[in-house]
Amino acid sequence: MERRGRHRRYHNARAGSCGSTGAGRWPRITVAVTSAGLVLPGLGLAAPASASLAGSGADAGAWHCSAGAHTLAPPGSHLYPDTGNGGYTSLHTLVHLVYNATANQFLPGNGVTFTDRATQCLTSLSLDFERKSNNTKAGPDMTVQSVTVNGRPATFAFVQPTYPGDPHGQNDPNPAAHEASQTSPVGGPHHNPLPPACSPELASTKVPPNSLNGTQCPANKLVITPSAPVRSGSQFTVAVSYTGRPGVHNDGDGTTEGWFRAPDGGFVTTEPVGSEDWMPLNDFPAAKPTYNFSDTVTAGRAVIANGVLLSTKRNPASAEFPGGSVTWNWLSRAPIASYLVENSVGKYNLTERTADNGTQYYEAQDTGISAARRAKNRAIMNMQQNITEFESQFNGTFPFTSDGVVVGTPNASFEEEMQTMITFAGGRTNTDTLYHENMHQWWGDNVTESDYNLTFYKEGLATLAEFLYHARLAEDANGGPYSAKGQAAFQASLVKSFNQSYAAGGTFWTVAPSNPEPVGLFSGSSTYARPGIGYIALRQILGHVNFTQALEQLQRTYGGSHVTEPELEAVFQQWLPVPTSSCHARLQEFFTQWWDTAYPAGGHKHRPQLTGPGLAGPGFYNSHGGCS
């Protein structure tokens, strides 16, 4: 994600091919749509799945059945501790919207079907779904009509979240166990010593960030009780039917994300938690099911989603759609993290182009954007293949079979790396941000952070992509990538980027990147510039070839899944060129300084004291190239 207006813009990028991408990791498959629903060859999934309910009575007792956890956040967390759901693994999600784009309403028949695998015997399980909000204007107003588990009716209820790790259990009757806060403990007017159960939903960016600390969390946990327990290890389906108006989520920093109303439909951009404002889901980055979208919408509207477009079909006039409707089918065989699910609907002009290596590039723009502006946007979007090939030199093969951009008209406060379909808000694109969001396709999308605390890891690499872009401009201005002068200019630009930010004082170093509060998660230097220049230092410490080897190994090892901070550090340690115990210890100290330390304000002495060869600061190796 990148907040608007944080960066200078560069309009003079040059086209030119550097390297090439190989075939994507996820082979294309065909999907048959039958009267029984979508059938997914190769995934081993069909909807509905065969029933796998556990037996009742004595059998159920023998499996020690219990309720699934209502959170995936670690104990004590103060970053969206309300999100995620335990007791099962999310495998596949079929989104089946029935959407009146004129009225901005989900109609009867609208719903989502989840295919999950139980990791325990479940008496109940939960999803995240903010069906109503205090934001009565742009927030959601939806109603759940019914829930089934393996095709059988299930009961459901909405409950408040409970702080992760509550020893009294997730039905703790103590109201203090269900309070919002930016911080842990909650604090607030009643000095609640417990951790928060959710992050505050601030009404605007003008509201004091801590003003909701100590208030009750909304009941956004959808708890589903099947007619009989779900056996541990079994694959099962949950279908949720719902109607009403999707909307936006008010975040802990006062901005909004989710389903933005557009004049002719909706524009979906959702980081970090706004997906639950238009669909129920397991709303946690590490939960990554594959996706099918089969949306029926008002005739004349396009659906823009993740993956590849399989088909569109016009439907005759009906009671719900007197002017007719159209059904769009998209498929993402690659798993998608919770905040990267794209499903915009509107009057989009969609084009599709297949590159030489088979990667499909989509470009979608709202037709309400002026023709002149659309032409400018198109010129930038047309660079995406070139940018992808440039970034592949550092990251390895592009991980998906498709890539794309959708430009919507609503004024969201940020652009976002939706998987294979980057969102630009406000009707405009820019090149700097396209480098940033496209880099996320490897970092955040293919290799996802294990929880919100690790947001800096992928934002730092996306910020590095902007530094690499500036370096590329300098290289092109000095003879190009195949000249010694161009290569020197490339490196000098990266050194300059490092040295400029490393000199920062003020509050630049005062938040540990791995321990932010919701209010600063997507605006602070701790999430963007600090980890961004930290990667430049790491590239100098490891050497340029080894740094790329480490990035490629991370893609190979964790692609399609998620990564933790110790796992990241271990891979970079493997590519340390001086593998002595003292150098390994120093690199560990480097990570502690750059990722995990909050310094007093001011900079200078109060900033990381390990940098890298050729950079400002004390460097890393001693005069003999060692670390003792």
Q: What is the number of other CB atoms lying within 10 angstroms of the CB of residue 52?
A: 15
* Helix (H/G/I), strand (E/B), else coil: 433: helix
Interface with Zn ion, residue 112, by CB under 5 A: no
Q: Which of residues 313-342 bind Zn ion (CB under 5 A)?
A: none
Rounded Cα gap, residues 436 and 400, in angstroms: 17
For Zn ion, the binding residue among 125, 222, 434, 462 (CB under 5 A) is 462
Q: Which amino acid is at 56?
A: S
Q: Can you count the helices (H) and strands (E) in the chain? A: 10, 30
Partnered with residue 260 across adjacent β-strands are: 267
* Alpha helices, H only, 128-286: none
User: Measured from the CB atom, is 269 or 292 closer to Zn ion?
Assistant: 269
Q: Which of residues 248-267 bind Zn ion (CB under 5 A)?
A: none
627: nearest Cα among 593, 589, 571: 589
Q: Which amino acid is at 257?
A: E
The minimum distance between CB 559 and Zn ion, in angstroms, equals 19
> How far is C-alpha 291 from the geometric centre of its chain's CA atoms?
15
Output the 3-class SS for 167-199: CCCCCCCCHHHHEECCCCCCECCCCECCCCCEC
405: nearest Cα among 345, 354, 364: 364
Binding mask 381-410 for Zn ion (x = CB under 5 A): ------------------------------
User: Measured from the CB atom, is 116 or 459 closer to Zn ion?
Assistant: 459
83: nearest Cα among 156, 159, 161: 161
User: Measured from the CB atom, is 257 or 459 closer to Zn ion?
Assistant: 459
User: Measured from the CB atom, is 459 or 475 closer to Zn ion?
Assistant: 459
The minimum distance between CB 80 and Zn ion, in angstroms, equals 17
Tell me which stretch binds Zn ion (CB under 5 A): 20-28, 50-58, 461-469, 549-557. Answer: 461-469
DSSP 453: G
Partnered with residue 295 across adjacent β-strands are: 328
On the CB side of 506, how many CA atoms lie within 13 Å of its CA?
A: 7
Rounded Cα gap, residues 379 and 429, in angstroms: 10
User: Measured from the CB atom, is 366 or 459 closer to Zn ion?
Assistant: 459
Cis previous bond, 164, omega within 30: no
Write down the residue that tokens 């059945």 correspond to: 65
Q: Phi and psi (nearest 5°) for 541?
A: -70, -45
Partnered with residue 114 across adjacent β-strands are: 93, 238
The minimum distance between CB 339 and Zn ion, in angstroms, equals 11
The minimum distance between CB 571 and Zn ion, in angstroms, equals 21
Write down the residue that tokens 């639950």 correspond to: 276
The minimum distance between CB 488 and Zn ion, in angstroms, equals 29
Q: Which of residues 7-46 bind Zn ion (CB under 5 A)?
A: none
With a CB cutoff of 8 Å and minimum separation 6, the contacts of 191 are none
User: Measured from the CB atom, is 60 or 462 closer to Zn ion?
Assistant: 462
Tell me which stretch binds Zn ion (CB under 5 A): 220-228, 460-468, 505-513, 566-574. Answer: 460-468
The minimum distance between CB 460 and Zn ion, in angstroms, equals 9
- Total residues at the site for Zn ion (CB under 5 A)? 4
Q: Phi and psi (nearest 5°) for 362?
A: -105, 145
The minimum distance between CB 10 and Zn ion, in angstroms, equals 17
Q: CA quadruple 509, 510, 514, 520: dihedral positive or negative?
A: negative
The minimum distance between CB 416 and Zn ion, in angstroms, equals 8
Question: What are 467's two structure tokens?
Answer: 């530094």
Binding mask 171-210 for Zn ion (x = CB under 5 A): ----------------------------------------
Binding mask 430-459 for Zn ion (x = CB under 5 A): -----------------------------x
The minimum distance between CB 340 and Zn ion, in angstroms, equals 11
The minimum distance between CB 443 and Zn ion, in angstroms, equals 9
User: Measured from the CB atom, is 295 or 459 closer to Zn ion?
Assistant: 459
The minimum distance between CB 377 and Zn ion, in angstroms, equals 19
Rounded Cα gap, residues 169 and 148, in angstroms: 26
User: Measured from the CB atom, is 80 or 236 closer to Zn ion?
Assistant: 80
Interface with Zn ion, residue 465, by CB under 5 A: no
User: Measured from the CB atom, is 2 or 295 closer to Zn ion?
Assistant: 2
User: Measured from the CB atom, is 1 or 101 closer to Zn ion?
Assistant: 1
Interface with Zn ion, residue 1, by CB under 5 A: yes
User: Measured from the CB atom, is 424 or 620 closer to Zn ion?
Assistant: 424
User: Measured from the CB atom, is 166 or 459 closer to Zn ion?
Assistant: 459
The minimum distance between CB 436 and Zn ion, in angstroms, equals 6
Q: What share of the chain is helix, strand, coil (3-state, %, to 5)?
A: 25, 25, 50
Interface ranges with Zn ion (CB under 5 A): 1-2, 459, 462
